[in-house]
Amino acid sequence: MKITVVGAGAIGGFLACQFSESGHEVSIIARGETLQPSAEIGCNCTRATCC
């Protein structure tokens, strides 16, 4: 399934990663402070683990 997440802040970014890890093709729409880092280095999904 193709999914577009509008707003790639904390919650939108989290949801985009969840959809991507589930095998969906994800596009993200960002603006402002979120746009520049995403355009420069791309988006990477990493999972933090707790002890």
- Domain ranges (residues) in the chain: 2-41
pLDDT digits (tens, 9 = 90+) for 5-47: 998 788 888 888 889 889 999 888 888 777 766 667 666 666 6
d(CA 30, CA 20): 17
Pairing of strands 25-29, 2-6: parallel
Indicate the residue type of 49: T
CB burial class (10 A; 0-12, 13-18, 19+) of residue 5? buried
pLDDT of amino acid 47: 65
pLDDT at 2 over 90: yes
Residue 25 — φ and ψ, nearest 5°?
Answer: -85, 120
pLDDT surpassing 70 at residue 48: no
